[in-house]
Amino acid sequence: MVQQINIIDAKNHVDEEVKIGAWLTDKRSSGKIAFLQLRDGTAFFQGVLVKAAVSEEIFQLGKQLHQEASMWVYGTIHQDTRSKFGYEIEISNLELVGESEGYPITPKEHGVDFLLDHRHLWLRSRRPFAIMKIRNEVIRASYEFFNARGFIKMDAPILTGSAPEGTTELFHTEYFGHDAYLSQSGQLYAEAGALAFDKVFTFGPTFRAEESKTRRHLIEFWMLEPEMAFIHQEQSLEVQEEYVAYLIQNVLDHCDYELDLLERDKDVLKRYTKLPYQRISYDDAVTLLQKNNFDVEWGVDFGSPEETFLADQFEQPVFVLNYPKKIKPFYMKPHPTREDVVICADLLAPEGYGEIIGGSERATDYNYLLEQIKQAGLDPEEYSWYLDLRKYGSVPHAGFGLGLERALTWICGVDHVRETIPFPRLLNRIYP
């Protein structure tokens, strides 16, 4: 009996007769030979259909197939040194499974808006295929990294009654007469988890009600947020850089084919696995920007041009430390010698991708935190459970959040963050 295989396993079946369930992505023919470009969800390769080697019926079927028709392909695997994949199949038989007529995403160039409107079909193409495979590897490696270091995975609620960073960027709804919001972050809940289990991480969808149409921003995205008890900020920074380097190394180790499909420079990625990453204070960053003719003043948050410039000075991710207190959320620990900054850091990715991690040491003093909640215009009653964490055995603790899609955009070297989401969720279609 002929063995059924996946395209990705072709290397293990050279000169063997096999059977593959596949779809047609493109084809061309020249008289007595037809070249069928095939995919099966694991990889892409070429099928060669020679008129003299098959029946007239099978040869004509191969020539008449339309894009995205599904079929069983029978034949012999051969090495193909001309292709990056390295293998092809010499076809001996075809069985049509499902016809396809008028497939909208033809091999010609299409705009991003058109492709995202047809995202349910565009996923089949090489570029999104590669990005989604790398996304899967980043998620797998994230769980592996934190599990190996004793972290507990916890699930924060998606519908919440309080906001970790203020209510201005939250989607509001009413929950049986009470205000409720789509989650902006799982961090506050992760802090409760860390004080119970020492080290935890959350991973789930988060929402920002920003009418932003930049290539960096999404309305709905996935955030991975570790939280650690009995540590200070510098220890957290070490975890952050180890984690990012670990993700990149695993993508290099397990997604070589996908990186080739994206034409991502692997030597550049290897540079990002070298530790430690540089650290620069917010104060020094402002000075550096001003010396290079950027119109920035102390106390403002950095935009895309400023972040791009800073990261490109180091050719590696760089931590910017201790931002002004007035532009950061209420929960960050105050600096021990300065009232105007807090103990925090943003990790900026090079090549123009900007912030991929934001983190801080958390405030531990009950009275200080209560005052910050009030100054932020928030209701202390809504945060009574969060304040309890400072009443009953408060300890030094720190954490951070990595936005999955922003990090993927950088790792994959793609132009737009919307390419890294599996489907164009409603909110991201309203304000793409």
Q: What's the pLDDT tens digit per position in 71-91?
A: 999 999 999 999 889 999 999
State the average pLDDT over residues 272-297. Answer: 97
Contacts for 361 with CB less than 8 Å, ≥ 6 apart: 232, 233, 236, 332, 333, 343, 344, 396, 397, 398
The sign one gets for the Cα dihedral 289, 243, 401, 187 is negative
380-398 pLDDT, tens per residue? 998 999 999 999 999 999 9
User: Lowest-pLDDT range, 113-122, 145-154, 266-275?
Assistant: 113-122
What pLDDT, on a 0 to 100 scale, did the predictor assign at position 432? 36
Report whether 54 contacts 93 (CB < 8 A).
yes
Decide if pLDDT at 319 tops 50. Answer: yes
36/189 Cα distance (integer angstroms):
52
**pLDDT band at residue 183, thresholds of 50, 70 and 90?**
confident
Can you name the residues that pair with 202 across neighbouring β-strands? 225
3-state helix, strand, coil in the chain (%, to 5): 35, 30, 35
Average pLDDT over residues 179-189: 88
> Is the pLDDT confidence value at 237 over 50?
yes
**Model pLDDT for residues 262-277, shown as the tens digit of each residue:** 999 999 999 999 999 9
Distance from C-alpha of 429 to C-alpha of 208, rounded to nearest angstrom:
14
- Cα angle 255, 259, 260 (rounded to 5 degrees) comes to 120
Q: Is there a contact between 52 and 32 (Cβ–Cβ < 8 Å)?
A: yes
- Between CA 216 and CA 354 the distance in angstroms is 8
Q: How far apart are CA 208 and CA 65, in angstroms?
A: 45
State the Cα–Cα distance between residues 104 and 276, nearest whole angstrom.
Answer: 47
Q: How far apart are CA 249 and CA 257, in angstroms?
A: 14
pLDDT > 70 in the chain, percent? 95
Beta strands in 99-162 (DSSP E): 152-153, 159-160
Q: Is 146's pLDDT higher than 70?
A: yes
Quote the CA–CA distance of 83 and 419 in Å, as a whole number.
Answer: 26
On the question of pLDDT at 168 being above 80, the answer is no
**CB 99: neighbour CB atoms within 10 A?**
11
- Neighbour-count burial of 119, counting CB atoms closer than 10 A to its CB (0-12 exposed, 13-18 middle, 19+ buried): middle
pLDDT at 17 > cutoff 80: yes
Query: Looking at residue 301, what is its pLDDT?
Result: 95
User: Is the pLDDT assigned to residue 357 strictly greater than 70?
Assistant: yes
195-234 pLDDT, tens digit each: 999 999 999 988 877 765 555 567 788 999 999 999 999 9
C-alpha dihedral (201, 227, 206, 407), degrees to nearest 10:
-80
**β-sheet bridge partners, residue 319:** 279, 347
pLDDT of residue 430: 42
Nearest residue to 136 (alpha-carbon basis) of 254, 12, 268, 266:
254
Q: Which among 115, 96, 95, 131 has a CA at the least distance from the CA of 414? A: 131
**Cα–Cα distance, 369 to 132 (Å, whole number):** 41
Four-point Cα dihedral 214, 313, 273, 304, nearest 10: -10
Distance CA 59, CA 50 (A): 7
